[in-house]
A and B are shown apart, each in its own frame.
Chain A
Amino acid sequence: MRRGLLIAWFVVCAFRASAIEPALPSWGEADRAAVKAGKWVPGSLLLTDEVPAGEPPAEKQEPLPGPTAEELVVDQTPLTQIPESFLGEYFNERPKSLLIDPQKLLSPQQYRDRLAFLDYHATDSSIDLVIYVFGMDQEIPGEVRAEELAERLYSTERQAAVVFYFLGAPKRSVLYLSPSLTDTISGAEQTHAVESSVIKSLEKADVVDQLEAFSMQISTRLYWLEQLSSGSAIPEGVISRNEKPESKPMAPRASERLNKMIPPGWWMPGVVLVGLIVVALSMNAWLRQRIRYRFPEFEVEPRLGGDQGAGIGAVISFAKSSPPPAQQREQVPEYQRRS
């Protein structure tokens, strides 16, 4: 009881303290006289740069140092190691699938989608595209030499292009080729392929979309590299360093589609046939325009005293939407019509 009263008393005092307003400032006699004499303008301290007397001068702050060029290029995020439990699945033997993600960085659906694309690429190309997926801040252990890995695992069976892809950091991606391909495809071409793929991937914001864009672009580049290895000439626009992002292939024009549909030798007969049809339709329309409809004349007995006619046609009311015309078909008086 006493404790409760004490607490209540403290609370009331706190409220009263908060309710007490601070004293309002008041003019001193000297300040009032200075303002009236015009010697001092209230608030002038805010309007000028003068340092009021008694205050120390403001210290000039030196500009902060900007980032160095190396800091701009190299990501300063500290790297982590790949858990040892996954190293065997990554690097021990040639993987069974073309997408290696033992850490389950991709969801099952995303994994299936990417793997389906890689399988489709493998059916269409003699160079398999193998992608190892790592985390964006993970680093390959020092004891794993990627070149040795490519020689050990990918020198037999099908040729392969191995990509170490860091999910969320496509700039760190690296491409390695099977030993049989490195002799025919120069390092510069490989670098170009990776650079263009990275550029494509950076157009996307989502990390999985980046992987998709990267894999599609490098698949395209692999096609051209395959052409290069087979000795075919590649258009300059594809191998140039400053190539622009590939635009979507334009849909064939109508004339091209038409050329594909109609064999070359059938053009003249086709034109003649179309012309004949047009002429026939025009003749038909002209004849229809000139056609005249006539009726035989019969002798009709006059009725109801009418000399000219007694043809009783229908009458229809359009005062309201009801009854509709269908219900007015039977010409009966209103009182006989059901409501």
Chain B
Amino acid sequence: MQRFNRQFPQLFVAVHTGSCGGMANLRQFGFWFLNRAKFEDLPSDRGNLSAILLVIDADARSAGISFGYGLDAFLDEEDTFQCLARAHAYWQEGRHSEGLVKAIEQLAIVLKRRSRQARRNPVRFERKVARPARIDVLAEKIGSGRRAESFDGPGNGEGSP
């Protein structure tokens, strides 16, 4: 984990092991934990936007990954599934720490690739998280465009009926 933090200074990995407090759905727990938890060994002003949370429920024998908005453009469900699948065999044998290392290694591989791609073509990733255009803004733009056409219309006195 320290090597991960060294290679990705903007990001950090957090691991939660244990039961999920009665919450049946691991995704819900990960979402709640990521948005509510404050990690002690991090500066208080640094939020969890660039966090990657690994939740391992040893009782239910399941694991999940949640990540902050800072990685929304760079990670998807397929990537996180690959990380968990890499560790599946180790966790099944009860070797949780080794599985955790394998999952983080796979995560590092994915993030390195995405970092290089983002450096070459950041627009491609920006489009993934760009806000959809508002309808009123679009209408305003269309209206201003038409008004510009009517002033420079085709011929004097001739106008549309």
Instruction: Give the interface of A toward B (CB within 8 A).
Output: 291-302, 304, 306-321, 324-326, 328-329, 331
Contacts and interface: CB of A to CB of B under 8 A. Distances in A.
A288 B126 CA distance: 27
Contacts, number: 139
B51 interface: yes
B88 to A, nearest CB: 5
A325 to B, nearest CB: 4
Given A298-B73, A315-B27, A321-B92, A308 B65 contact: no
B85 to A, nearest CB: 4
Contacts of A329: 81
Interface in B43-76: 47-49, 51, 60-75
Given A313-B80, A319-B60, 8 more contacts: A292-B7, A293-B111, A294-B115, A307-B35, A312-B77, A315-B62, A315-B84, A321-B92
B48 A309 contact: yes
Contact of A325 (B67, B68, B80, B88): B88
B75 A310 contact: no
Given A296-B118, A316-B64, A311 B72 contact: yes
A318 B92 contact: yes
A195 B63 CA distance: 81
Contacts of A328: 81, 85
A274 to B, nearest CB: 30
Interface of B: 6-11, 26-27, 30-31, 34-35, 47-49, 51, 60-75, 77-78, 80-81, 84-85, 88, 91-92, 111-112, 114-116, 118-119, 122, 125-126, 129-131
B129 to A, nearest CB: 5
Please report whether the interface of chain A is mostly helix, strand, loop or mixed according to DSSP.
loop
Given A307-B35, A313-B77, A318 B61 contact: yes
Given A293-B8, A309-B48, A321-B92, A315 B35 contact: no
B77 A292 contact: no
Given A298-B129, A318-B61, A291 B7 contact: yes
A317 B27 CA distance: 13
Nearest to B126: A298
B122 A306 contact: no
A317 to B, nearest CB: 5
A304 B126 contact: no
Given A298-B126, A314-B80, A293 B112 contact: yes
A296 to B, nearest CB: 5
B67 A311 contact: yes
A313 B30 contact: yes
Nearest to A304: B31
